[in-house]
């Protein structure tokens, strides 16, 4: 079983609408990139997405709107069908060869110069693009046309002049709208640009040329403001791309220091970091001690002390002293690169509310278009309107019908919520998980490394066999413990000052312990459960175990052929923030439950200290999986928080999996839906609060968009709504939902979350 995907489909829709683009280095083998010159808004992305949904064998999609690039995972044989499907909805897709250079996105997040490609995929400036100076000029010409109409000059010359000014305004502001609108109409699609093209052209032809000019100018200006506002949400975490230096000072084989590109530094190289410099690559401190600002990774402002053996992460800032670091990952595999990749994937995943809105908009727009045609054709007969009046009201309906506010109401809120979480060191792998977190009824928490610090210390070593030599027993224990990366084994090995012997046939058993041959004899370093399963737990051993377990200690037993030889007791402290975090979860209506492979007595002691009532102890990985299934049956939506390999199946099974990213294994982080980069439990409560606030904002936006549309639709049919009012209703609603969604970027940290600290230091990762 693939423990990263067990019992739950985790396919991420990676259509990253406006997310920071993947670098060429991070594009997966088999991916193909297309440049689509006319694709630069969410509505157009949705049209292309729907066209491709009908094709077989389509895998991951990544929409990079600022650069107008679509990355698609599909077999080579399907690519002609992809190009044809995109062409059928009115867009031209040009394949980008692997050798072609792709320029980075504009800093503003929306390139208003509107580039397009030729057959070779190269960009060219589109001189019809509508920048702000061009739009201001269009607005001035539109105002001039309005003034001529308002002053009511009756001369033919003034009418011709007014129409000329209106025509210039429409040409300046509406070039892109007309180009896209006419393309859409040729292919039978009723999108925003098609509706505006028909409405403005119709208004001009029936003599409402001043309104036609002002509507187009105001529409284009509002589109520009909206695009820049949405760009703020899309690029809220784009600054991560600039946090890792492009080069590093690397020690050469002859001892010299040479500055080379960071992506050329091999794993295991030694790099030098001066005070104030950013860390270019993940690594471990080899020389020097000092403080490092890890806020870019964990969201915490407090610097973390580093000494030889401690991990450092790319993008963090060395503060006061020089450090030498031995690299542990290439630039493309660094912690910062993984964060950027996770945010890219998350910003493109479509939340349930967004899918609902897309389906609704696909029905809503054609329905209103049919209504507008009905008004134009039937009202002269049914309501005794003039044909000119009926046509005008129909055109007003078309402007109001633009689904821009509705379509954009959800993605801007979801992206803002994801960006807000990422700034705090919480990586949410998609809008679906951001929305689902609000529904959690129960949260299962692994003990070691989640509730506790995960840095246990050896507090007692006892000889059980009176005939054995204590020095020899210590050597046997250290020989086995030194081969394991489990936190308990690491603590034992650190705490025992003894030589380590060669271990043959070493084996680790999840949830039980380790075994091996030392000098030809088999020994085990086992937990209480395994010793009982082997029938080697005597009354004397049981008595000693009860004493240590009652004190909240984890006990490992050295077992030989004849029975238990020695006892090692390890104690792990509860995290300082754990008690407040558990209390906050309870206040939020989420039931905390502890899961652990440790013994019952130790688990109950730790749970009581943390404020957790329900405890499941002595669990193997498959037992944790069964407990998650039981909790889902009893309570409903269930979350799981853990950091070890043996937590991965439960993380995958849970409705929402939270991985403790700073101390967690890669397996746990891959299996989880949400990664807490600084390991602190208060971040889980923050995530739930953010999820609930995002849900409120989403439905506020949908309500605003639909309410304003409904009001003006009624005014247009039964009242005196003008095209002016229609464009203000449409674009006003769009801007309103955008700025309402952007409020999520600045959600304050709740006081109940408790204090947080930086990443755990110097702890090898392993199963809890």
Q: Assess contact for 750 and 689: CB atoms under 8 A.
A: yes
> Which structure tokens are listed for 153?
């000059």
Task: State the residue for tokens 């193909």.
Answer: 32
**pLDDT surpassing 90 at residue 692:** yes
**Residue 766 in 3-state DSSP?**
coil
pLDDT band for position 169 (cuts 50, 70, 90): confident
Q: Assess contact for 564 and 528: CB atoms under 8 A.
A: no
Residue, of 661 and 32, whose pLDDT is higher: 32
Residue 547, number of CB atoms within 10 A of its CB: 14
Q: Assess contact for 36 and 93: CB atoms under 8 A.
A: yes
pLDDT band for position 597 (cuts 50, 70, 90): confident
**Residue 755 in 3-state DSSP?**
coil
Listed as own residue / partner, the contacts of 630-637 with beta carbons closer than 8 Å and 24 or more positions apart are 631/442, 631/444, 631/593, 634/442, 635/441, 635/442, 635/591, 636/439, 636/441, 636/442, 637/436, 637/439, 637/440, 637/441, 637/442
**pLDDT surpassing 80 at residue 133:** yes
pLDDT for res 100? 47
Rounded to the nearest integer, the mean pLDDT of the chain is 77
**665 burial via Cβ count (<10 Å: 0-12, 13-18, 19+):** buried
CA-CA distance, 163 to 145, in Å (whole number)?
7
Please compute the mean of the pLDDT values over residues 666-678 and round it to a whole number: 73
The fraction of the chain above a pLDDT of 90, given in percent, is: 14
Apex 9 CA angle, 7 and 14, nearest 5: 155
Please compute the mean of the pLDDT values over residues 663-668 and round it to a whole number: 56
Please compute the mean of the pLDDT values over residues 601-608 and round it to a whole number: 86
CA-CA distance, 558 to 527, in Å (whole number)?
9
**pLDDT surpassing 80 at residue 77:** yes
pLDDT for res 477? 93
CA-CA distance, 609 to 414, in Å (whole number)?
37
pLDDT for res 475? 92
Apex 711 CA angle, 398 and 195, nearest 5: 10
Residue, of 594 and 428, whose pLDDT is higher: 594
DSSP bridge partners of 710: none
Give 463's contacts (C-beta < 8 A, 6+ positions apart): 470, 473, 565, 566
Q: Assess contact for 73 and 82: CB atoms under 8 A.
A: no
| CA dist list (Å): 188 to 80, 89, 183, 406, 459 | 22, 8, 9, 21, 76
**pLDDT surpassing 80 at residue 676:** yes
34-48, 88-102, 462-476, 671-685: least confidently modelled range: 88-102
Sign of the Cα torsion 588, 589, 595, 600 reads positive
Most confident option among 372-376, 473-477, 596-600, 624-628: 473-477
DSSP-derived secondary structure for 404-465: HHHHHHTHHHHHHHHHHHHHTTEEE--HHHHHHGGG--EEEEEIIIIIB-S--EEEEEEE--
CA-CA distance, 613 to 354, in Å (whole number)?
38
pLDDT in tens, 171-207: 888 887 888 788 778 777 777 777 778 878 887 888 7
pLDDT band for position 567 (cuts 50, 70, 90): very high
User: Torsion-angle region of residue 755: left (phi > 0), alpha (psi -120 to 50) or beta?
Assistant: beta
56-60, 284-288, 356-360: least confidently modelled range: 356-360
CA-CA distance, 351 to 15, in Å (whole number)?
12
Q: Assess contact for 680 and 757: CB atoms under 8 A.
A: yes
Q: How far does Cα 619 stand from its chain's mean position?
A: 31
**25 burial via Cβ count (<10 Å: 0-12, 13-18, 19+):** exposed
pLDDT band for position 479 (cuts 50, 70, 90): very high
Please compute the mean of the pLDDT values over residues 256-280 and round it to a whole number: 88
Q: How far does Cα 114 stand from its chain's mean position?
A: 28
Listed as own residue / partner, the contacts of 672-676 with beta carbons closer than 8 Å and 24 or more positions apart are 672/429, 673/10, 673/428, 673/429, 673/430, 673/433, 674/426, 674/427, 674/428, 674/429, 674/433, 674/437, 675/342, 675/426, 675/427, 675/429, 676/425, 676/426, 676/641
Please compute the mean of the pLDDT values over residues 273-288 and round it to a whole number: 87
Burial letters for 122-153: b for 16+ Cβ neighbours within 10 Å, e otherwise? Answer: ebeebeeebeeebbeebbebbbbbbebbeeee
What is the DSSP pairing of strand 674-676 with strand 656-660? parallel
Please compute the mean of the pLDDT values over residues 241-252 and round it to a whole number: 78
Please compute the mean of the pLDDT values over residues 71-84 and round it to a whole number: 86
pLDDT band for position 705 (cuts 50, 70, 90): confident
431-445, 533-547, 644-658: least confidently modelled range: 644-658
What is the DSSP pairing of strand 614-616 with strand 591-595? parallel
Q: How far does Cα 444 stand from its chain's mean position?
A: 22
What is the DSSP pairing of strand 513-518 with strand 521-526? antiparallel
Please compute the mean of the pLDDT values over residues 346-374 and round it to a whole number: 70
> Which structure tokens are listed for 47?
């049209």
pLDDT for res 108? 35
CA-CA distance, 377 to 572, in Å (whole number)?
79
CA-CA distance, 483 to 500, in Å (whole number)?
10
| CA dist list (Å): 114 to 65, 140, 197 | 11, 23, 19
Sign of the Cα torsion 262, 265, 267, 268 reads negative
**Residue 477 in 3-state DSSP?**
helix
> Which structure tokens are listed for 698?
């989403």
pLDDT in tens, 735-758: 788 888 888 877 665 543 333 333
From 446, 572, 647, 655, the catalytic residue = 446
Residue, of 601 and 565, whose pLDDT is higher: 565
Q: What angle, 0 to 180 degrees and rounded to 10, lies between the N-to-C axes of helices 42-53 and 79-88?
A: 130
**pLDDT surpassing 50 at residue 150:** yes
In eight-state DSSP terms, residue 294 is -
Q: What are the backbone dihedrals phi and psi of residue 617, each rounded to the nearest 5 degrees, phi first?
A: -120, 170
**pLDDT surpassing 80 at residue 603:** yes
CA-CA distance, 106 to 140, in Å (whole number)?
28
pLDDT band for position 409 (cuts 50, 70, 90): confident
pLDDT band for position 253 (cuts 50, 70, 90): confident
Is pTM beyond 0.85? Reply is: no
State the virtual CA torsion across 261, 263, 269, 273 in degrees, nearest 10.
60
pLDDT for res 230? 60
**pLDDT surpassing 70 at residue 113:** no
pLDDT for res 31? 79
pLDDT in tens, 713-727: 787 777 677 777 777
Give the closest residue to 730 by CA, choosing from 489, 444, 447, 402.
Answer: 402
**Whether 670 is catalytic:** no
**Residue 172 in 3-state DSSP?**
helix
**pLDDT surpassing 50 at residue 435:** yes
pLDDT band for position 15 (cuts 50, 70, 90): very low
Give 321's contacts (C-beta < 8 A, 6+ positions apart): 275, 288, 289, 290
pLDDT for res 386? 84
pLDDT for res 26? 44
Q: Assess contact for 324 and 288: CB atoms under 8 A.
A: yes
DSSP-derived secondary structure for 197-218: HHHHHHHHHTT-HHHHHHHHHH
> Which structure tokens are listed for 99?
């050798």
Most confident option among 48-57, 353-362, 589-598, 660-669: 589-598
**pLDDT surpassing 90 at residue 49:** no
Q: Assess contact for 483 and 514: CB atoms under 8 A.
A: yes
97-106, 600-609, 676-685, 725-734: least confidently modelled range: 97-106
**468 burial via Cβ count (<10 Å: 0-12, 13-18, 19+):** middle
Q: How many CA atoms lie within 13 A of 714 on its CB side?
A: 5
pLDDT for res 553? 83
pLDDT band for position 352 (cuts 50, 70, 90): low
In eight-state DSSP terms, residue 264 is G
pLDDT in tens, 622-650: 788 889 999 999 999 999 988 766 677 88
The fraction of the chain above a pLDDT of 70, given in percent, is: 78
């Amino acid at each position: 079983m693939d423990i990263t995907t067990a019992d739950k489909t985790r396919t991420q829709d990676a259509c990253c609408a406006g997310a920071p683009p993947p670098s060429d280095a991070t594009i997966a083998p088999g991916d193909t990139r297309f440049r689509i010159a006319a694709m630069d808004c969410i509505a157009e992305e949705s049209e292309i997405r729907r066209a491709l949904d009908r094709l077989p064998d389509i895998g991951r999609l990544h929409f990079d709107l600022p650069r107008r690039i679509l990355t698609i995972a599909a077999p080579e044989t399907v690519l002609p069908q992809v190009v044809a499907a995109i062409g059928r909805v009115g867009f031209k897709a040009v394949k980008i060869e692997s050798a072609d250079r792709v320029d980075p996105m504009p800093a503003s997040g929306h390139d208003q110069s509107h580039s397009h490609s030729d057959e070779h995929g190269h960009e060219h400036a589109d001189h019809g693009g509508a920048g702000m100076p061009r739009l201001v000029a269009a607005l001035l010409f539109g105002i001039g046309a309005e003034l001529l109409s308002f002053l009511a000059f009756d001369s033919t010359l003034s009418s011709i002049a007014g129409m000329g000014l209106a025509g210039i305004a429409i040409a300046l502001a509406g070039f892109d709208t007309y180009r896209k609108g006419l393309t859409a109409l040729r292919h039978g699609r009723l999108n925003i640009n098609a509706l505006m093209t028909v409405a403005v052209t119709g208004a001009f032809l029936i003599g409402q040329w001043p309104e036609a000019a002002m509507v187009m100018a105001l529409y284009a200006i509002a589109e520009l403001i909206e695009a820049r506002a949405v760009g703020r949400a899309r690029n809220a975490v784009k600054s991560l791309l600039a946090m890792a230096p492009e080069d590093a000072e690397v020690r050469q084989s002859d001892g010299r220091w040479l500055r080379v590109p960071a992506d050329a530094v091999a794993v295991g190289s030694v790099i030098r970091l001066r005070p104030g410099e950013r860390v270019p690559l993940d690594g471990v401190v080899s020389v020097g001690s000092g403080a490092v600002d890890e806020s870019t990774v964990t969201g915490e402002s407090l610097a973390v002390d580093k000494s030889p053996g401690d991990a450092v992460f790319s993008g963090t800032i060395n503060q006061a002293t020089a450090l030498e670091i031995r690299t542990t990952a290439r630039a493309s595999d660094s912690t910062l690169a993984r964060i950027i990749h996770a945010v890219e994937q998350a910003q493109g995943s479509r939340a349930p509310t967004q899918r609902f809105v897309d389906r609704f908009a696909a029905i809503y727009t054609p329905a209103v278009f049919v209504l507008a045609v009905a008004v134009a054709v039937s009202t002269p007969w049914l309501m005794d309107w003039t044909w000119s009046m009926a046509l005008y009201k129909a055109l007003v309906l078309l402007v109001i019908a633009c689904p821009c506010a509705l379509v954009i109401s959800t993605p801007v809120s979801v992206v803002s919520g994801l960006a807000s979480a990422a700034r705090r060191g919480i990586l949410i792998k998609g809008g679906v998980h951001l929305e689902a977190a609000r529904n959690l009824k129960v949260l299962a928490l692994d003990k070691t490394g989640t509730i506790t610090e995960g840095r246990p210390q050896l507090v007692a070593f006892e000889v059980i066999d009176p005939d054995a030599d204590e020095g020899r027993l210590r050597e046997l224990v250290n020989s086995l413990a030194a081969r394991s990366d489990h936190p308990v084994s690491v603590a034992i090995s650190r705490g025992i000052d003894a030589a380590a012997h060669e271990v043959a046939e070493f084996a680790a058993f999840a949830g039980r312990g380790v075994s091996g041959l030392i000098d030809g004899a088999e020994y085990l370093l086992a937990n209480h459960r395994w010793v009982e399963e082997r029938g080697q737990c005597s009354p004397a051993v049981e008595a000693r175990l009860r004493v240590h377990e009652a004190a909240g200690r984890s006990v490992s037993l050295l077992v030989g052929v004849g029975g238990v030889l020695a006892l090692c007791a390890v104690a792990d402290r509860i995290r300082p923030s754990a008690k407040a975090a558990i209390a906050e979860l309870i206040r939020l209506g989420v039931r905390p439950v502890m899961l652990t492979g440790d013994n019952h007595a130790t688990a109950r002691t730790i749970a009581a200290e943390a404020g957790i009532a329900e405890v499941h102890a002595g669990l193997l990985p498959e037992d944790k999986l069964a407990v998650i299934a039981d909790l889902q049956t009893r309570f409903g939506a269930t979350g799981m928080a853990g950091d070890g390999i043996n937590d991965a199946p439960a993380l995958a099974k849970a409705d929402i999996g939270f991985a403790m990213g700073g101390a967690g294994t890669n397996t746990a982080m891959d299996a989880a839906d949400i990664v807490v980069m600084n390991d602190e439990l208060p971040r889980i409560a923050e995530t739930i609060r953010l999820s609930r606030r995002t849900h409120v904002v989403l439905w506020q936006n949908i309500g605003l968009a639909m309410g304003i549309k409904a009001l003006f639709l009624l005014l247009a049919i039964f009242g005196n709504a003008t095209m002016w009012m229609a464009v203000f209703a449409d674009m006003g609603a769009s801007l309103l939902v955008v700025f309402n969604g952007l409020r999520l970027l600045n959600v304050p940290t709740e006081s109940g979350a408790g204090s947080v600290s930086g990443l755990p230091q110097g702890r090898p990762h392993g199963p809890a």
